[in-house]
Amino acid sequence: MLTTSARLLRLVSLLSSRPSWTCGELAERMEVTDRTVRRDVARLRELGYGVESDPGPWGGYRLSGGARALPLLLDDEEALAVAVALRGAASSGVLGGDQAVLSALLKLQQSLPRRVAERLAGMDATFVHAHRPGEPQIAPGTLLELAGACRGGQRVRLSYRDGGGRDSVREVDPYRLVHNGRRWYFVALDVARGEWRTFRADRVVQVRGTGQPVAEPVELPDPALLVVRNTGTGRYPVYASVRFPVPLEEALRLVPASVGTHRPDGPGACVVEIGGPDAEGLARYLLGLAVPLRVLGPQEVRQALLRLLRGVAEENGEEDGG
């Protein structure tokens, strides 16, 4: 005999499986009396579920669009099918930059019964996906691990293989996953360098937790803009390295992390790489900051800034005979 709570969940599952049920049909499927069905329907209504009924011998019960979200009840085969579909959607990027699929997959995998999880792992080991030429391949479960790292708020040790085949291990503070074109990118703070970095998800070899919480950043970057700037698509024609004689925290207030890439340069200074449409445009942006700074390069940006400064000085010099 099912417990009351299990019976209520079973009733909700039946009601959601088709438009309408008679009391007798529900009683037969649940192996209870008509009176128990009516009592359980009343309990569901008390809990906030919208269960409507039609009077008469041919009337029945049905779910309405109530204010309460219904629990999702899946049998083993349904859970396995949903997990496989979500993994396929995440790996192919068919949903673009929408990270809801990763969040749903993470929640589902954490709640799968062991027997279903083992079957899913077995399918991962035997399935082969024929990628198109040039399409990056992502190991099964890698996106899920990276999504979990972003949600977990824990510093991780990332084993990574770059485009030249060189392996490295670094500690990073996870932030976001970004889909751009056919690739997924992992945005994280490189702890040793103190810089926000983008890592191609298909080049991630292993992700291991360190047990340390992520550091509280002064300012979080726009992950999509960071990926666009760092991956070559949408790069600015001109970049300048600018030294500000202020600590990193103040430099981030002057130039947001979504605009420039920051690195400390001693205890009281910071070097920021900033992109722009041309040397003149970059110079105008730097002049508008109205703070002391030094353009380390390139020369064309430095000269453009000096020309603007000379023009401002000439326009604001003392008038003759004043």
User: Which two structure tokens, joined as six digits, stand for 183?
Assistant: 């690739």
From the number of C-beta atoms within 10 Å of its C-beta (0-12, 13-18, 19+), residue 63 rates as buried
Question: What secondary structure does DSSP assign to 86-103, as a single string?
Answer: HHHHHHHTTTTT-THHHH
CATH topology of domain 74-217: SH3 type barrels. (2.30.30)
Burial of 113 by CB count in 10 Å (0-12 exposed, 13-18 middle, 19+ buried)?
exposed
Distances (CA, A) of 132 to 59, 141, 182, 319: 55, 20, 11, 70
pLDDT 10s per residue in the chain (322 long)?
456 767 887 888 788 777 788 888 898 888 899 899 999 988 888 877 788 887 765 668 887 754 344 455 566 666 666 666 766 665 555 444 445 555 666 666 666 667 766 766 665 555 544 455 555 566 656 777 887 788 778 899 999 998 788 899 999 999 988 876 567 889 999 999 888 899 988 899 999 988 888 887 767 887 877 776 676 544 677 888 999 999 888 888 888 776 777 888 888 899 988 888 889 988 999 998 989 999 998 999 999 999 999 988 888 876 554 4
- pLDDT per residue over 147-169, tens digit each? 778 877 889 999 999 878 889 99
The residues with which 204 forms a beta bridge, in sequence order, are: 160
pLDDT at 173: 93
Beta carbons within 8 Å of 95's beta carbon, 6+ residues apart: 89, 101, 179
**Letter for the amino acid at 190?**
D
Do domains 4-63 and 236-315 share one topology? The answer is no
Exposure string of 84-108, with b = 16+ CB inside 10 Å and e = fewer, is eebbebbbebeeeeebebbeebbeb
Is domain 236-315 annotated with CATH 3.40.1090? no
Quote the CA–CA distance of 295 and 299 in Å, as a whole number: 8
Domain 4-63 architecture: Orthogonal Bundle (1.10)
pLDDT at residue 171, rounded to an integer: 94
316, burial (CB in 10 Å: exposed 0-12, middle 13-18, buried 19+): exposed
pTM score of the predicted model: 0.44
Per-domain residue ranges of the chain = 4-63, 74-217, 236-315
Task: Report helix, strand or coil for 64.
Answer: coil
